[in-house]
Amino acid sequence: MVAFEAVTKRFGRAADEAQFTALDGVGLSVSRGAITGIIGRSGAGKSTLIRLVNGLEKATSGNVLVDGVEVGGLSETGLRDLRRQVGMIFQHFNLLSSRTAFDNVALPLEIAGLSREAIRQKVAPLLDLVGLGDKADRYPAELSGGQKQRVGIARALATSPKLLLSDEATSALDPETTHSILELLKRINAELGLTVLLITHEMEVVKTIATDVAVIDRGRIVEAGRTFDVFTLPKHETTRALLSSSLGVKLPEWVRSGLQPQPLPGGRVMVRLIFFGATAFQPLTARLVSEIGTGVNIMAGTIDEIAGEPFGSLVVSYSSDTAVIQRAEQFYTETGLTREVLGYVA
């Protein structure tokens, strides 16, 4: 549905020493019908990336394709046609305060030249879809933050787009309202088959709604794939840092500060066990104890859900004796249990 091919975006003149590279050779594919999240720190290039999709910015080099059409080569007329196929919802709603909920949703249809009756037939079902059929005559000042965002979503859907862009759409909302908006986006994705591309710094948003995720750092995509795969076994240090406070087990500082990269004489190894798929519901911890002995200490654990799939994380420690570690490794191989060695302690 969307493809970024070696996309670079620079701001400033080429001869200007202060020229800034926002995106550097980005390659990424967004599958049709998927909900794809783009995560990264502030200034990583997330907003620039999404603005290239609807032509609000133009790539310095490379190609941005939407449904096979190269965005950078479009005329003004072509861009207008593209933007009818690409809806967008914003962090701060961007509603017109002087227009009712109905009229805010109707705005893109008025611009497109539809008759008032055609607009009514289009807008009323959209307000029903987002749960605001009874708020059609309310002004933005009379609506809550979540209701304003629902109006924004209905407006984004008014032109029957193929693609929905979300620019930090939930970051101004409280957790309960955020949950309701995410559930709405999931339902729209399922019922309308709409492709969704969202940028956010909130890991919980991606974990809840996104089927796929890409991690951007300093203008480069450093990791991408299924959300479950990336979140459960992050490979890049940026991904690990972003996820450290929102996923799995966070060890106390006094434990983490004592970890060493190499085994210590008479010491113990600290291991993170990851449970998902076939291992999610098996009593593997008890089997590990019986396999390597009773000296297994459980340090911390959590149960979570990522993109609708169960995920468990358990930190254990046991003797770093070579024979014990070999028995444990054989157990992991036989059972398919994923493990990550966190370090060694005295």
Give residue limits of the domains in the chain. 2-243, 253-345
Full-model pTM:
0.81
Q: What digits encode the pLDDT tens for the residues 16-55?
A: 667 889 999 999 999 999 999 999 988 899 999 999 999 9
CA angle 18, 23, 27 (to 5 degrees): 160
Contact residues for 9 (Cβ-Cβ < 8 A; gap 6+): 21, 22, 23, 45, 48, 52, 57, 59, 60, 219
Distance between CA atoms of residues 312 and 317, nearest Å: 17
pLDDT score for 210: 94
Distance between CA atoms of residues 180 and 167, nearest Å: 17
Contact residues for 279 (Cβ-Cβ < 8 A; gap 6+): 335, 336, 337, 338
Distance between CA atoms of residues 199 and 216, nearest Å: 10
Does 2-243 match 253-345 in CATH topology? Answer: no
Q: 8 pairs with which residues across the strands?
A: 61
Distance between CA atoms of residues 84 and 161, nearest Å: 6
b/e map of 59-77 (b: 16 or more CB within 10 Å)? bbebebbbeeeebbebeee
pLDDT score for 246: 64
List the end-to-end C-alpha distance of the chain, in Å, as a whole number: 53
Contact residues for 54 (Cβ-Cβ < 8 A; gap 6+): 71, 82, 83, 86, 88, 165
Task: Name the residue among 293, 277, 281 with its Cα closest to residue 331.
Answer: 293
Distance between CA atoms of residues 136 and 123, nearest Å: 9
What number does CATH give the domain 2-243? 3.40.50.300
Q: What digits encode the pLDDT tens for the residues 198-212?
A: 999 888 889 889 999
CATH: 3.40.50.2000, 3.90.480.10, 3.30.390.10, 3.30.70.260. Which one for 253-345? 3.30.70.260
Query: What residues of the chain score a pLDDT lower than 50?
Result: none
pLDDT score for 301: 82
pLDDT score for 273: 86
pLDDT score for 339: 86
Q: 65 pairs with which residues across the strands?
A: 3, 70
CA of 275: how far to CAs of 108, 285, 337, 340, in Å? 47, 10, 7, 12
